[in-house]
Structure 1
Amino acid sequence: MDAPGDPEGPRPPGGDGPAANARETPNRLSKEQLFVLISAASINFGSMMCYSILGPFFPKEAEKKGASNTVIGMIFGCYALFELLASLLFGKYLVQIGAKFMFVAGMFVSGGVTILFGVLDQVPAGPVFIAMCFLVRIGDALSFAAAITASFSILVTAFPNNVATVLGSLEIFSGLGLVLGPPLGGFLYQSFGYEVPFIFLGCIILLMVPLNMYILPNYEANPGEHSFWKLISLPKVTLIAFVINSLSACFGFLDPTLSLFVLKKFNLPAGYVGLVFLGLALSYTISSPLFGLLSDKMPHLRKWFLVLGNLITAGCYMLLGPVPVLHIQSQLWLLVLMLVVNGISAAMSIIPTFPEILSCAYENGFEEGLSTLALVSGLFSAMWSIGAFLGPTLGGLLYEKVGFEWAAAVQGLWALTTGLAMGLFYLLEYSRRRRSKFQNILGTEEEQRALLPDENQS
């Protein structure tokens, strides 16, 4: 949604409730809104820590246990596949289950399965270890899908006029999770072994559960009439879904591949590999609030952010290796620079997607309320999960077959395709609007000419 008074954005629902309270105090946070921000920040931070902590050392440990690079990519990717299925389910039934209960229960289960991940090194190598990795990863995916879907819905309910600004600001905590996860995981792994990173992180998440049970407001609403299929069938929403897929795949691609590439190419220890991930996470964290603010204050810029962000991301992945056809020597400084630029371009593209989908839904007759917010939240999480599944899965396979340089270039082509498709759609949309406006002007002139003879006779 857009800032108050913005003609291009959808209007928030009227009446009483949290949305009305948010409009009455636009420049000052209420106690309820502050508690919502704290709860959302805790889940963003915890989820990104869990997501990123595996990168520096898990691929190496999994190789010792007999897992191939393709299987390692599938272990990373199965998280997103089951998060996809769970997000669609939880988004549809969030109103019936209750947003607060879904949020707290998801966080509690996630803390438990994160601790279980820490004891997998005691499992026998081979198929048993691989199967247990899949089971624990699936449990983590289901629990965080519940918490994240509920979190998005609660946030947009509490801040109906500043969706992109709030989501962009909360990406600071997602970025902190991405920033702290790899180096902290690498350091704890080097110092204390495999178990400690997971037990430490799982305990932090469990400690957040009673806090959120106390401070998180409880929002209630009636089920809506619309479905995911009506939402995703809107052409604009379909294209934005592909943008989300592409950007998510770009992030997911790096998890099973980047650490192995850096270890072999530059001979860095595991602790320093975590610092390489820092370039992407830190730049994404810093730039997200800026693009969120710009998306709310100047919604006409969203289309430019979506297109340019994808095109810049494509260039980054072409130079990440770099792709051999460019005949550029692979260097550590160039790789880190491309990760930094990619963090900025990813924020440029990701932040506007949620308010753009929401605006399109309202323009096409979806009711304004928690039920639609739940559908959009579930759809966003599901589309992100598709990319997060395909990115590491195909990335691990391509890394084995053609090497990191070509695998990264293929990922860049995906971003390039979505960026060009989104740009073409906006050009066609602009052309249709101009043609419609021109036809309306002609119609008005014809009506005026038809009335002139009658006026002269009178």
Structure 2
Amino acid sequence: MDAPGDPEGSRAPGGDDPTESAREAPNRLSREQIFALISAASINLGSMMYYSILGPFFPKEAEKKGASNTVIGMIFGCYALFELLASLLFGKYLVHIGAKFMFVAGMFVSGGVTVLFGVLDQVPEGPIYIALCFLVRIIDAISFAAAITASSSILTKTFPNNVATVLGSLEIFSGLGLVLGPPLGGFLYQSFGYEVPFISLGCIILLMVPLNMYILPNYESDPSEHSFWKLISLPKVALISFVINSLSACFGFLDPTLSLFVLKKFNLPAGYVGLVFLGLALSYAISSPLFGLLSDKMPHLRKWFLVFGNLITAGCYMLLGPVPVLPIKSQLWLLVLVLVINGVSAGMSVIPTFPEILSCAYENGFEEGLSTLALVSGLFGAMWSVGAFVGPTLGGLLYEKIGFEWAAAVQGLWALTSGLVMGLFYLLEYSRRRRRSKLQNTLGTEEERSTLLPDENQP
């Protein structure tokens, strides 16, 4: 690993020489690296707890206030829509605003509106309640987009040669947030009512603000001439973006639908519904560091992770209901097992996407520095948000129209399509490289012959 203060890595993150990187890596982390990890861990934990805390009880509360399943799905989905727009904006202007300021300000605003979300049960039911739900979610989405974009950029800058390993390791905290959010939120809701889960979490996030103001490294960089359009117009980046869409849509689909399905199908109380989410979150948190390490040490495996991770995810969603055409009865143990496998396949697919995009950007002339890292971070956040908007919105609608079993199968088709398309692209890429290699060998042989022939004709 390069020193955190070094703006240029010795090679592109996620490059193809992991042995050199491992040889150069120090045995101990520097102070800046440790502080960057702590800051990123705090935002990963807080954001995922807030993201997941709604699942066990908010759909039920929103129904009481007159919101339909479609509207509930849109309340979940609007978060992702505005996170999409904010990620693109903040990714473009991060170097102008300042990564540290963007991180701290985003965290402060997010903590405040999380507390506000906890008092929405005092609002009259109907349009006013629904409108305020949308407003608070939108502000929270913008603030968290600022913090996450800044966090990813700082991390990638601090660990230029171990991007996937670091991001994968930090998914432990994302997974921990997903693990703690549903059961903790469900039990606090069951014991103390609607307000306590949000006020408690909001206060925890606000307490993290002064800590991060003190410890977070501050990096500066010159603005880049490149744009999101140039980045996403690269074919490989565009297809990886589609993969990110499908994976985030699969996660988002479960938010407004799974708790309602479990409540209806298995008659579990709200507190225990949160425990069902543990299978997905825990397996994702445990598997992500492993796939991150493998992605950095053996970059050639990334393509296989992307393809097979999507195909396994597609199979999981076919079995989640399961889809009625299969002769399998819906059972709670089977649902939890499928969620566990889905968590592993999600880690397999998600973790390699960031270093793959970054490597592709460097290969196509993007300069190494904070500006490019901000573009990649913003693009990743934006593409994740596209799926996170479509997943719950379409999921809520399909749940109403065709039921959970068929809705999950439709969602699985998205992951199946992205996996097959990505696999086809890698096959074509491999074929092109082989043809190019053969052509270069042929030209080299002809040049050698042309240089030898005059000598052979001399007496």
TM-score between both structures, scaled by the size of structure 1: 0.96
Distance in 2, matches of 1:352 and 1:7, equals: 12
| Equivalent residue number for residue 58 of structure 2 | 58
Q: What's the offset of the Cα at 1:27? A: 2.4
Map 1:411-430; keep pairs closer than 5 Å: 411-430=411-430
| Equivalent residue number for residue 322 of structure 1 | 322
| Equivalent residue number for residue 364 of structure 2 | 364
Cα offsets for 1:46-101 (capped at 9, x unmatched): 00000000000000000000000000000000000000000000000000000000
Partner letter of residue 41 of structure 1? A
Compare 429-438 and 443-452 and name the one that shifted more: 443-452
Percent identity between matched residues is: 85
Change (3 A) 1:381 1:8: closer
Cα offsets for 1:1-22 (capped at 9, x unmatched): 999899981799xxxxxxx9x9
Map 1:125-164; keep pairs closer than 5 Å: 125-164=125-164
Change (3 A) 1:7 1:337: closer
Distance in 2, matches of 1:271 and 1:292, equals: 33
Count of aligned residue pairs for this structure pair? 450
Q: What's the offset of the Cα at 1:24? A: 6.5
| Equivalent residue number for residue 15 of structure 2 | 9
Partner letter of residue 395 of structure 1? G
Distance in 2, matches of 1:7 and 1:101, equals: 25
| Equivalent residue number for residue 386 of structure 2 | 386
Q: Is the 8 A contact 1:154 1:219 kept in 2?
A: yes
Q: What's the offset of the Cα at 1:453? A: 2.1
Gapped regions of structure 1 (runs ≥ 5)? 13-19
| Equivalent residue number for residue 213 of structure 1 | 213
Map 1:208-247; keep pairs closer than 5 Å: 208-247=208-247
| Equivalent residue number for residue 77 of structure 1 | 77
Map 1:259-408; keep pairs closer than 5 Å: 259-408=259-408
Distance in 1, matches of 2:242 and 2:302, equals: 16
Q: Is the 8 A contact 1:23 1:161 kept in 2?
A: no
- Indicate the RMSD between aligned Cα atoms, in angstroms: 1.9
| Equivalent residue number for residue 177 of structure 2 | 177
Change (3 A) 1:23 1:39: farther
| Equivalent residue number for residue 5 of structure 2 | none
Change (3 A) 1:8 1:356: closer
Q: What's the offset of the Cα at 1:457? A: 3.2
Q: What's the offset of the Cα at 1:309? A: 0.1
| Equivalent residue number for residue 15 of structure 1 | none
Q: What's the offset of the Cα at 1:303? A: 0.2
Partner letter of residue 9 of structure 1? G
Distance in 1, matches of 2:343 and 2:212, equals: 30
Distance in 2, matches of 1:5 and 1:64, equals: 56
Distance in 1, matches of 2:131 and 2:367, equals: 43
Q: What's the offset of the Cα at 1:238? A: 0.3
Distance in 1, matches of 2:360 and 2:260, equals: 41
Distance in 1, matches of 2:13 and 2:451, equals: 33
Cα offsets for 1:373-419 (capped at 9, x unmatched): 00000000000000000000000000000000000000000000000
Distance in 2, matches of 1:25 and 1:349, equals: 26
1:29 partner SS = coil
Distance in 2, matches of 1:314 and 1:34, equals: 37
| Equivalent residue number for residue 16 of structure 1 | none
Q: Is the 8 A contact 1:153 1:374 kept in 2?
A: yes
Distance in 2, matches of 1:198 and 1:7, equals: 38
Q: Is the 8 A contact 1:10 1:359 kept in 2?
A: no
TM-score between both structures, scaled by the size of structure 2: 0.96
Mapped pair 1:86 → 2:92: no
| Equivalent residue number for residue 68 of structure 1 | 68
Compare 440-449 and 343-352 and name the one that shifted more: 440-449
2:66 partner SS = coil
Q: What's the offset of the Cα at 1:327? A: 2.3
Cα offsets for 1:124-165 (capped at 9, x unmatched): 000000000000000100000000000000000000010000
Distance in 1, matches of 2:215 and 2:276, equals: 36
Partner letter of residue 384 of structure 2? W
